[in-house]
Amino acid sequence: MSDLIVIAYDDIHKAEEVRITLAKLQHEYLIDLEDSVVVVKDAEGKVKLHQSMNLTAAGALQGGMLGALLGLLMLNPLFGMALGGAAGALSGKMMDLGIDDKFIKELSEKLKPNSSALFVLVKKVTIDKVLPKLEGSGGHILQTSLEHLDEQKLQAALDQHSATAPAST
């Protein structure tokens, strides 16, 4: 079962920076993300969602491959590919995997203008390797399905000052 974590930031770019960090950690097999969405609320209060997956493109690719296969069976692979790609794109656009967009929009209304939030669904995580990478990134947990102790550890890591920060003189 996946855990939902929503972290708000007072900067419009910080959520995307943290998502990039998590993507790098995913390539190192330290975290397994099911979905991630960055939400930005501009100065006028307009909310914009930045999905990590383009479901329309993924659906078109899958549909095109399946259509080409079926087209080969019917001796017309180009027609099958076109029809399959169109059907796949439509189904991908209509599908909503991962975090529910309605939930994201409702929770995003609580954000202050000129801020951002990171919504992630985490399947697995090597917590002792991931938390140090998030240290000092700031942010405040808006909502989570983590156990209370894990939530406290995450918030402490977000709040912690970077150990590599130079001392002021």
Which one-letter DSSP state was computed for residue 44? T
> What is the Cβ-side half-sphere exposure of residue 121, based on CA atoms within 13 angstroms?
13
Do the domain assignments include residue 112?
yes
Do the domain assignments include residue 166?
no
**Domain hosting residue 88, numbered range:** 55-94
Do the domain assignments include residue 33?
yes
- Could you say which of 71, 94, 117 is where a domain stops? 94
- Residues 44 and 120 reside in one and the same domain: yes
pLDDT at 8 exceeding the cut of 60: yes
C-alpha 43/C-alpha 21 separation (Å) is: 26
pLDDT at position 167 is: 46
- Residues 128 and 142 reside in one and the same domain: yes
| pLDDT tens track for 77-135 | 666 556 555 555 555 554 555 788 899 999 999 999 999 999 999 999 999 999 999 99
Q: Which residue has the higher pLDDT, 85 or 41?
A: 41
For the chain, what's the residue count? 169
pTM of this prediction? 0.71
pLDDT at position 101 is: 85
Q: How many domains does the chain have?
A: 2
C-alpha 120/C-alpha 114 separation (Å) is: 20
